[in-house]
Structure 1
């Protein structure tokens, strides 16, 4: 088992699952992380990623011949200039999918050049100037692409630049033409505002999803650290007992063993002094772990003896009195054979498992089995499907459920296997070694799957 907190799913996957079609649209509108990426590169589906290419391609294929035809037939422009302007004003729209700002500069330059050339066209009078209808449509398509990619500051600058260019061109307006400067200024601003708002919606939803992922990771890590601190507080009594025994044995050795040489007496005295100093350091460590008492419970809880396998019968009886049918199978050799850390871990694993059953499968028949041999203690808790409505009726657990089980198993160097059963029940199986090799480096088998028994644990 890794020491890290569980890794949440990616923000983009959570966003898609959480909001359906609106969330997918927001993801599609998200600004690509790299400028070379095409528009909608972050869209979740292939057709959404191809949609901008298809739309812009249709506009280019349509506007190119229409622009050349209108310039030659309606405005009386020369065929060569009309063809060059048609290409310059429409083909750069394809660049707008990846680099909209350079595409805008190219199109704006071509449109300005076209407006100046049209001042000398034979039939410009009575037509729109400086922006013919084809130029208006192409420019608005470009504004849509730019609005979905650029920042607000850039969009405002583009809009103001469009107005300034239109104002300057008004000084060269041919007589008898219809001025379209104000029309382009208003329409381009509207398109930029709408597409910029859509893009901003996508960015906002993305940031919210990413923040939720960060918050969930922090909560998972905090839960893990709190559970480890709680386990450390409980193990203090176990270690303190052994240190006290060492102190007593070292202090009493000169009285129990007659004829002990003076150097040996001094050695035992040094051992006893070191043990007492270690006990003092442990008390200070426990004070730090308990903090203000909000995590460790009241003073009575801190001073109470730590439970073990021998108290499982009392735990099961209390659960049965609460209305939960529980059967306990406790092997005769399982009591008193386990080291204190393993003894405490086995009890807490059963306690957490029963608390989860009461929370998430009330009324389900539950079987608890604890066996032991010379090498390990085996803990098995199996419950059937819930027979009653799932309500919160028990609050004596730690609130950390499977996280606490994994940490306790990791502490002893054992393995943990949890997961749902085919009939809707749940299984918790733990193996706790009794040998000297038990320690936090032992493997933990991840739970095969998680169902509602883990939620809220």
Structure 2
């Protein structure tokens, strides 16, 4: 048996029933408050139209247009009020200025201009009620006021939200209906025509604004996507550098392990304390190798066998340049013989910089003659890759079409990361003749720095 509901408290009287009329009235009042707020609060800041245009003359166009509108509508409105409607004296001039002068605000504050233009046009229609002239003329909106209000609607449609546009479109219709009921014997009532043309103008302006907003959002999204791609490329390059650093560090840790394990056999007469110290060093080195193996599992894809190959260095730059020449790119190499004392990190970074620079030439300047120069002054290793403009074919003056017409700069991201890793500097940029230059300066250790004996690891592939 379901539980019975508790009886109502005798101290609280039942709420009176709500009639449908109350709901309609509250909804109407709420909508009127929203419309009033929309008419009193612009939806966008008072920035001029075309404020983001790249050229100054484009930014000046809205001001030129509104000046031309005021210069045309003020004298035309005065003439029409005098000749067609029989309104004489300073009243015609004051009403004309009140209707047309606020058009100066269309470029940046059209909603504030509406609060001046619309009451001025309603006041003009009321003043014309007492005039004998113009009984058969268009009413309540004079032809100049009619056209100027369409310009006002166009400016509003480019800035304001939909609720505001509906309000400024319906307001003249409601005012025209009230004026028609007050004096139905006047001439042709143009309120219906005004509503039709006003709706057309608002639709056109809203379509133009939405198209501009869509293009702006698309440009912003492309900028965000490009930034995300650059960040992803940066992270991928850092991961690649970490993998290569692992190979370099693992080699040296393997050397330390072998030397520490073999020290008691190579050095006779070691005390027990020294033997224990060497054993502790070997154990620490093995533990570090184990940690790096776990790190390698995270950083390296098991299906990518190319990552497990020995890391290249300056000794393979010659092969790299020869492979580039076979691919159709005329390249020259200047590499001093017997270049020694280069740390593995600098050695690998120099090779990768040359590799990426040549790849960029192939993609963006096919056929361009390229010069690769690697030199050392004892303190720094300098890597210089300079290419000429793209080669021009014999039958045409147009350059050979590049593989990629637009560059993302992601190759330069990897170069900067490698140079930053070694503490060097990188200078890249176009040349006056249309070529491109990549110059990296990588620091070298002092000549007196002690070097580790080149004892190979037992199995570097498993490290």
Aligned partner of 1:331 among 336, 355, 365: 336
Q: More deviation in 403-412 or 234-243? A: 403-412
- 2:189 alignment partner in structure 1: 179
CA positional deviation for 1:321: 4.5
Provide the rounded CA distance (Å) in 2 between the counterparts of 1:84 and 1:423.
66
Any gaps of 5 or more consecutive residues in structure 1? 1-31, 394-398, 438-457
CA positional deviation for 1:70: 3.5
Provide the rounded CA distance (Å) in 2 between the counterparts of 1:33 and 1:126.
40
Superposition RMSD in Å: 3.3
Tell me if the contact between 2:366 and 2:403 (Cα under 8 Å) persists in the aligned partners: no
Provide the rounded CA distance (Å) in 2 between the counterparts of 1:111 and 1:368.
77
- What's the secondary structure of 1:131's corresponding residue? coil
1:151-198 per-residue CA deviation (whole Å, 9 max, x = no partner) reads 233223322333233233321234141111111111222222222222
Tell me if the contact between 1:77 and 1:122 (Cα under 8 Å) persists in the aligned partners: no
Aligned partner of 2:310 among 305, 308, 316: 305
The within-5 A match list for 1:258-269 is 258=268, 260=270, 262=272, 264-269=274-279
Provide the rounded CA distance (Å) in 1 between the counterparts of 2:92 and 2:163.
34
Provide the rounded CA distance (Å) in 2 between the counterparts of 1:89 and 1:250.
96
Q: 1:90 to 1:400 in 2, by over 3 A?
A: closer
- 2:204 alignment partner in structure 1: 194
- What's the secondary structure of 1:123's corresponding residue? coil
Tell me if the contact between 1:409 and 1:415 (Cα under 8 Å) persists in the aligned partners: yes
Provide the rounded CA distance (Å) in 1 between the counterparts of 2:43 and 2:165.
18
- What's the secondary structure of 1:178's corresponding residue? coil
- What's the secondary structure of 2:338's corresponding residue? helix
Q: More deviation in 151-160 or 98-107? A: 151-160
- 2:255 alignment partner in structure 1: 245
Aligned partner of 2:426 among 416, 439, 446: 416
Is 1:372 paired with 2:376?
yes
Provide the rounded CA distance (Å) in 1 between the counterparts of 2:360 and 2:82.
80
- What's the secondary structure of 2:378's corresponding residue? coil
Q: 1:284 to 1:61 in 2, by over 3 A?
A: same
- 2:24 alignment partner in structure 1: none
- 1:440 alignment partner in structure 2: none
The within-5 A match list for 1:286-305 is 286-291=296-301, 298-299=304-305, 301-305=306-310
Larger Rg: 2
The within-5 A match list for 1:84-233 is 84-233=94-243
- 1:276 alignment partner in structure 2: 286
1:29-74 per-residue CA deviation (whole Å, 9 max, x = no partner) reads xxx9962333333333333333333333333344334434443444
1:140-160 per-residue CA deviation (whole Å, 9 max, x = no partner) reads 222222122222332233223
User: TM-score when scaled to structure 1?
Assistant: 0.75
- 2:319 alignment partner in structure 1: 314
CA positional deviation for 1:122: 2.3
- What's the secondary structure of 1:39's corresponding residue? coil
Any gaps of 5 or more consecutive residues in structure 2? 1-41, 394-399, 448-463
Residue correspondences, number: 395
CA positional deviation for 1:239: 0.6
Tell me if the contact between 2:44 and 2:159 (Cα under 8 Å) persists in the aligned partners: no
